[in-house]
Chain A
Amino acid sequence: MSDLNTKQFDVQSIRGDFPILHQEISPGVPLVYLDNAASSQKPIQVIDAISNHYRRTNANIHRGIHRLSEQSTVAYEQARDKARSLINAKHTEEIIFTRNATEAINLVAWSWGNSNLAEGDEIVVTELEHHSNLVPWQLLCDRTGAKLKYIPLKPDAQLDLSKLDSTIGPRTKLAAISGMSNVVGSVYGVHRIIAKARSVGSLVLADGAQSVPHTAVDVQDLDCDFMAFSGHKMCGPTGIGVLYAKRQVLESMSPFLGGGDMISRVSMEGSVWNDLPWRFEAGTPAIAQAIGLGAAIDYLTDIGMENIHHYEDQIGNYARQALVSLPGISFVSPDVENSGATISFTVEGVHPHDVAEIVNRDGVAIRAGHHCAMPLHRKLGLAASCRASMYFYNTFEEVDKLVSALRKAQKIFGVA
């Protein structure tokens, strides 16, 4: 982005925007929040946008002709255009607000999948998918008789692209793949997978829940038909997510949920659907949350997605190096430079749950478990792993605190 060289990335000043980061989880123990792949924290700009909406402009949208309704409608639709701009979608009506990425994917599975898939058709996913980009397709296969196929993982947690030709073929109707994994960080080969899917006439859904918050995403360049992401992982509130879908695909799709706002005319006999994108937004939507997401997008783009990506690569590299210095640490995510700031690992002799419990005493919040990616863990022969996921407001000193807390865990268990 253009602001890469013009703006200084100052993590300390950024941290000043996040009230929640300046607290102690117990006396003298400051919070070190490294669970950002699960959910991010919110800057004051987002908190204020939501608060101001409720203080000054709150009303229902799209119907009232009074002042507040008009203001709410404008703010809600502005947020939609901010989301469009963030991922460089061509048209604003290609942005559908949902509850989260999961709901966005389910919308596709129901509205597009039910009428476009039949027995013998195939959906392709990868073995590293989050359950949200897996279970909706399993359910769709149950409904339609279609088959789910997997691009396999290699033991180094990277995709085995040599299996592409045997996985994606003439029966493939949809490839649903993650742009960045919530367990292993950067996913390599997404462009190749998409090109292969395109070559057989398949549609493509990109799960952007982990990529959109951390890097510049361009849906036109990526050439995907659908993209899903969640507001809460990118400094926005919970309860708001986005489905991007190409206009021509959306136009062919039936509504997902029925109700108010998604119709243009209703009679006793039936209804005429509203225009895009509102056809897919039944009922009063999450207005304040959409406005909060809009503020989050402003906040992120003001810092610059390229700057965020660059800083996260640096802190990720630093963390990988620091973790390697400990005995008995094995990476689940590939130990590859510039592969982002989501790092999953195991500590020999200490179960991930115990690791998370012990580092928590030093204020360090990490995730332990399978991170909603059970097939990935099973494939790699793991019951669970630890995950430290940094965001652009984390500091190198916080990584040091993680490392010293891990040392304590090893000491308690007598494994180092």
Chain B
Amino acid sequence: MGDDLYRELILDHYQNPRNKGLLESADISHEDDNPLCGDQIHLTLTLNDGVVDEVGWDGEGCAISMASASMLSETLRGLSLEEVKQISKEDIMDMLGIQLGPVRLKCALLSLKVLKAGAYGLEGIEPDVSW
């Protein structure tokens, strides 16, 4: 495994997370954690005519999970709810640009899991994110 895992882009997002901070009055607010390692992410979104307007998130976790949340948060503004639901595991992996084993994959996909559960409004129901 090379140093790609901690390449500059990931460390930059980890150390200077984008859109961090929860929105006061969000249309979508969802929170989840990865009980295995304690990573935790809370994501808030406001919508304007069914299109994502503002994005804010908070959380605690490893560089991979936090960078993935930060990067994901940058891609959401302007997307319709339907487009948000279409974001896939592969999109996240492309965004991170690294290869991950099964354990770290859970770190990387936590933010997507939270986003999908929020977008579907199906709290407590496993969203369509497979690992």
Contact = CB atoms under 8 A, between A and B. Distances in A.
Is the A/B pair a real complex? yes
Interface in B31-49: 35-40
A314 B40 CA distance: 37
B1 A383 contact: no
Nearest to A355: B62
Contacts of A351: 61-63, 66
Contacts of A354: 6, 62-64
A352 B63 CA distance: 10
Nearest to B35: A374
A361 interface: yes
Nearest to A409: B6
Most A Cβ at <10 Å: residue of B3, B37, B66, B104: B37
B51 to A, nearest CB: 34
B10 to A, nearest CB: 10
B107 interface: yes
A304 B118 CA distance: 57
A413 B11 contact: yes
B60 A358 contact: no
B5 interface: yes
A352 B62 contact: yes
A205 interface: no
Nearest to B107: A353
Interface in A347-364: 350-354, 357-358, 361
A383 B36 contact: no
A353 B37 CA distance: 8
B67 to A, nearest CB: 10
A377 interface: yes
A106 B19 CA distance: 46
Size class of the contact patch on chain B: 20 to 34
Contacts of B11: 412-414
A370 interface: yes
Nearest to B63: A354
A332 interface: no
Contact of B6 (A352, A377, A383, A412): A412
A383 B3 contact: no
A198 to B, nearest CB: 36
A384 B6 contact: no
Contacts of B60: 383
Interface string A153-181: 00000000000000000000000000000
26 contacts: A351-B61, A351-B66, A352-B37, A352-B62, A353-B37, A353-B61, A353-B62, A353-B63, A353-B64, A354-B6, A354-B64, A357-B5, A357-B104, A368-B37, A369-B36, A377-B38, A383-B38, A383-B40, A384-B38, A412-B3, A412-B11, A413-B6, A413-B11, A413-B15, A413-B63, A414-B11
Interface of A: 350-354, 357-358, 361, 368-370, 374, 377, 383-384, 412-414
Q: Which 5 A-B pairs have the closest CB atoms?
A: A383-B38, A353-B62, A351-B62, A384-B38, A354-B63
